[in-house]
Amino acid sequence: MYKAISEAIAQEMERDPSIFVMGEDIGLYGGIFGATSGLLQKFGPERIKDTPISESAFIGAALGAASKGMRPIVELMFVDFFGVAMDQIYNHIAKVHYMSNGRIKMPIVITTAIGGGYSDAAQHSQCLYGLFAHVPGLKVVVPSNSYDAKGLMISSIRDDNPVMYFFHKGLMGLGWMPSPEEAAVDVPEEPYEVPIGKANVVREGKDVTVVAISKVVYEALWAAEELNKEGLSVEVIDLRTLVPLDKDSILNSVEKSKRLLVVDEDYRSYGMSGEIISLVAENGLTLKSPPLRIPYPDVPVPYSRVLEKFVLPDKGNIIEAIKKMFS
């Protein structure tokens, strides 16, 4: 997925000179997770700016640059690190368009790595996209494969709103971190868009709808495959975007299947899983069994492998939950 992301940025930069990239280790290193690999060599240090560890400054600077017609892309290595620059994001970048009554646009893409599963513990393994989705004014995209990664990056850059672009470390295809084979799909060479706000039904089924995003999409697909052998037909929706949420795709599917399971690597409370179950409830859909969710429980990410494995949502939890719906 990392090559798809850097290719998308490069193609857009060739087209539009107002695009530039800032962040830590994004130049010479090519991004710790490769998302900006090769860009410094192609575009030089004026447009690919390695920054000091001064996040409030360079993320706030994205706002200033955007206000004067630039289209900055900013990377901050891990989502866990955002606390230090949050004011510039949730009080400013997210709100300037609204507070200026639409007179000032904020075409900013903020990219970061999410996710655990490799014992990087409590400050380097979180997802936290729910935190950003909670704040009005930020679009939130979370691709799960290389095709979507490229198309969503291009759409994000072209969007006149601030977009939080999250990539899961365990999907990047880095070589030094396990990544499901399915995440590396063919990517067309030419630029293309994947629309922001459009979910993808990645497996059709009729008995139960599983809504997922990012890496747990694969856990859901693997569970669906196993349950299929037992005669259960599972539909899997990859949301791809959290804000704006593709309500129609979710409602249409659940209307058909009458059962809902939400799988999420982000924390349980006040987040994506609750949001989707609320959506279904508010729309008065009649279900054959209560909706269920398998989110990350409300605990920080533990370090020890045995502990982390216990709390991460996986295929086994999904199969168990779906069977419960039918028992």
Partner 1 sequence: MAELQKNELLSMYRTMYLIRTYEETLGSIYYEGKTPAFDISAGPIPGELHLSSGQEAAAVGVCMHLRPEDAVVGTHRAHHFAIAKQVDLKKMTAEIFGKKTGLSSGKGGHMHLFDPEKNFSCSGIVGASFPQAVGVGIASKMQGKDYVVVAVGGEGAANQGTFHESLNLAALWKLPVIFVIEDNAWAISVEKSKSTCLGRNSERAKAYGIPGVYVDGEDVIGVYEVAKEAVERARRSEGPSLIEVRVYRFRGHFEGDPQLYRPKEDLESSKAKDPIVKLEKDLIRRGIATDSELANIRKEVEEEVKDVVQFARESPYPEPEEALENVFSGR
Q: Which residues bind partner 1 (CB under 8 A)?
A: 24-25, 27-29, 32, 50-57, 80-81, 83-84, 117-124, 175-178, 297-300, 302-311
Instruction: Identify which of residues 56 and 228 has a Cβ nearer to partner 1 in the complex.
Output: 56
CA–CA distances in Å: residue 192 to residues 8, 98, 158, 251: 9, 29, 11, 27
> Considering all CA atoms of the chain, what is the largest pairwise distance in Å, rounded to the nearest integer?
61
Instruction: Identify which of residues 14 and 298 has a Cβ nearer to partner 1 in the complex.
Output: 298
d(CA 51, CA 25): 7
CA–CA distances in Å: residue 241 to residues 31, 73, 139, 164, 213: 23, 18, 8, 10, 8
Instruction: Tell me the residue type at 196.
Output: I
Strands 241-243 and 139-141: antiparallel
38 by Cβ neighbours in 10 Å (0-12 / 13-18 / 19+) ranks as middle
Which active-site residues does the annotation give?
124
For residue 82, the minimal CB distance to partner 1 (Å) is 10
Residue 156, Cβ neighbours under 10 Å: how many? 29
Instruction: Identify which of residues 285 and 307 has a Cβ nearer to partner 1 in the complex.
Output: 307
Instruction: Identify which of residues 87 and 230 has a Cβ nearer to partner 1 in the complex.
Output: 87
Instruction: Tell me the residue type at 206.
Output: K
